[in-house]
Amino acid sequence: MTARRDIEAITERIRQRSKPGRERYLGRIAEASNRTANRAVLSCGNLAHGFAVCSPSEKLALGADKVPNLGIITSYNDMLSAHQPFESFPALIKDAAREAGGIAQVAGGVPAMCDGVTQGQPGMELSLFSRDVIAMAAAIGLSHNMFDAAVYLGVCDKIVPGLVIAALTFGHLPAVFIPAGPMTSGLPNDEKAKVRQLYAEGKAGRAELLEAESKSYHGPGTCTFYGTANSNQMLMEIMGLHTPGASFVNPGTPLREALTREATKRALAITALGNAYTPVGRMIDERSIVNGVVGLHATGGSTNHTIHLIAMAAAAGIAITWQDISDLSEAVPLLARVYPNGLADVNHFHAAGGLGFLIRELLDEGILHEDVQTVWGEGLRPYAVEAKLGADGGVVREASPRTSGDEKVLAPFNKAFQATGGLKVLSGNLGHAVIKTSAVKPERRVIEAPARVFDSQQGLNDAFKAGTLTGDFIAVIRFQGPKANGMPELHKLTTVLGILQDRGQRVALVTDGRMSGASGKVPAAIHVTPEAVEEGPIARIHEGDIIRLDADAGTLEVLVPAGDFALRRTADADLIGNEFGFGRELFAGFRQLVGRADHGASAFGTA
């Protein structure tokens, strides 16, 4: 009962804090719905351009506003495994729309970049900003005002948050998100990680490493570890933007196709032309956002969502903070162990009972808000199910199993892996940071050690190769924040620091950059804000300063007398190398406009 009261209290404080912004937002979408959001306001010339390639019957129907028109926003490309399955989705959606008496048009495409391809490369410096570009690209597609609802085809890291921001910006339109699903299981993630460590130590060659990586990332669908991409899918389902049970069905299967057809028909059923009008801006409220955060904690999800959820909520006029996310973590137990928080992958999680089991467990304990609206209708209880293929080729749903198929992967509430969700906010004289502890052993959650200071992840990797990273230390990697260079993920640090920790050294990381859902066993205080380029305290740390990171107490301190520390000059960094090449020069405006990490690291401002 205490946890339930905590959830209610945090939700209420979010509601009160958000009230002015939320009221302005709801007023805007009401005006859009009442005055401008239909084809009747378009001139004949506007309409002629909008349906020029349609059939005569479709033109007649669209011109008379007789049938719903569904806009498709797609992130398809055929280089990236997660988005390649979307190639066939528009034709499938159009066919399903015709069956339901509607019409569907591809409204626009959005870029989809892969952090796995750009890790450690210059392109990674565009990654976080791609979220806002995706939101703007989707807005361009929807700005034609031809649509009664929209479906969003996206899966991975920045793509789904960007699409959510766009959907909420067009909050007068119903929105259904349609996933493509995870790839089938390949080489286990822990075995892949071992080969990476051997390669970093010079004990395995590039050919062995490439073979291991290729066996792990081997086909269509999302990567199978529980990083940001699969955290996205969990969020879309637990927030009611997917149809029930849709998240983790593999691509290219009859059930995946049936779910896509069903989602299309549902999107058409909830337009203003029917009896179940569900504008997404009203549907997603403070309770929905809190449910998303609860799901993130219960599954040990990606730390990237401590940034994305703030930006997504802001698009709906809702103001959430890192402290809200941290306080919710204290009330939510960890019920899933999926790599890097365990050995299983997301397919094992799904087979053990998946989101249906987890949602039912949390609902039964009052940890989720049940009284929400979803694309499926009223209440979250209909999501406590498992989707299966019916005899007629359609989707049927059964109640989720009462017992977990594997309690080492998915635990019932009374056997939670730990009492809290494992995401905490750290505060102290270095500012604020986020740490994910769900994969960190308890004995490693408090570290006091001298600082080793670097201005790039390459600097630390060079020191590792030179054999100079000896003894216990806390690595400080600074000038990696959004204003400095776009806040790239520093995933290459995971392997090196993991090796040193396995050798018996006590190590940790402090950075104003990002890690990802792939961050694991090494304690990492990330997203430090204010960032170094804004003269944050992290820019005043000297080599050898003693830093204390206490994830249990929620503190991050440099143990230097306050007067002395305040008088230090902030370090300067030569960032000219981050300003040009690989399109980085085109993003100078984003680096100037972007807000702080704890405000969503967005160029669009806050709620």
Tens of pLDDT, residue by residue over 46-69, are 888 888 888 888 888 888 777 999
d(CA 594, CA 597): 9
**Residues in binding site:** 156, 223
pLDDT digit string, tens, across residues 418-471: 999 988 899 999 999 999 888 888 999 999 999 999 999 999 999 999 999 999
Q: Collect all residues with Cβ–Cβ distance below 8 Å to 178 and sequence separation of at least 6.
A: 89, 93, 151, 152, 153, 242, 246, 259, 260, 263, 264
pLDDT at residue 178, rounded to an integer: 98
259 is written with which tokens?
């779910």
Does the bond joining 340 to the residue before it have cis omega, within 30 degrees of 0? yes
pLDDT digit string, tens, across residues 202-231: 888 888 877 877 787 788 999 998 989 999
Measured CA distances, 165 to 311, 315, 438 (Å): 7, 6, 28
d(CA 465, CA 543): 19
65 is written with which tokens?
């506003």
pLDDT at residue 5, rounded to an integer: 93
User: Is 329's pLDDT higher than 80?
Assistant: yes
pLDDT at residue 607, rounded to an integer: 59
User: Where is 507: in which H helix or E strand?
Assistant: strand 507-511
pLDDT digit string, tens, across residues 97-106: 999 999 999 9
d(CA 126, CA 586): 10
User: Hunting for tokens 């029917």 — which residue is that?
Assistant: 274
Secondary structure E strands in 50-204: 69-74, 103-109, 149-153, 175-178
The answer as to CATH 3.50.30.80 being correct for domain 422-577 is: yes
Closest CA to 307 of 418, 237, 232, 358: 232
User: Is 37's pLDDT higher than 60?
Assistant: no
d(CA 351, CA 360): 16
Homologous superfamily assigned to 3-33+66-183+218-397: Response regulator (3.40.50.2300)
Q: Kindly list the domain boundaries of the chain, sorted by start residue.
A: 3-33+66-183+218-397, 422-577
pLDDT at residue 253, rounded to an integer: 96
pLDDT at residue 216, rounded to an integer: 79
Q: Three-class SS of residue 191?
A: helix
Please compute the mean of the pLDDT values over residues 190-197 and round it to a whole number.
80
User: Is 389's pLDDT higher than 60?
Assistant: yes
pLDDT at residue 391, rounded to an integer: 94
d(CA 203, CA 370): 52
Percent of the chain scoring above 90 in pLDDT: 77
* Residues 489 and 411 sit within 8 Å (Cβ to Cβ): no
Q: What band does 199 get if pLDDT is binned at 50, 70 and 90?
A: confident
**Residues in binding site for [4Fe-4S] cluster:** 156, 223
* Per-residue exposure over 212-232, b if at least 16 CB sit within 10 Å of its own CB, e if not: bbeebbeebbbbbbbbbbbbb
pLDDT at residue 39, rounded to an integer: 78
Percent of the chain scoring above 70 in pLDDT: 98
Please compute the mean of the pLDDT values over residues 230-256 and round it to a whole number.
97
pLDDT at residue 217, rounded to an integer: 79
pLDDT digit string, tens, across residues 496-554: 999 999 999 999 999 999 986 445 789 999 999 999 999 999 999 999 999 999 999 99
User: Is 357's pLDDT higher than 60?
Assistant: yes
Q: What band does 15 get if pLDDT is binned at 50, 70 and 90?
A: very high
pLDDT at residue 435, rounded to an integer: 93
* Mean pLDDT, rounded, of the chain: 93
Please compute the mean of the pLDDT values over residues 28-56 and round it to a whole number.
83
pLDDT at residue 511, rounded to an integer: 96
Please compute the mean of the pLDDT values over residues 279-283 and round it to a whole number.
98
Kindly report which listed range (254-258, 391-395, 490-494) carries the lowest average pLDDT score: 490-494
pLDDT at residue 1, rounded to an integer: 60
User: Is 249's pLDDT higher than 90?
Assistant: yes
Q: Collect all residues with Cβ–Cβ distance below 8 Å to 279 and sequence separation of at least 6.
A: 29, 33, 171, 172, 173, 174, 272
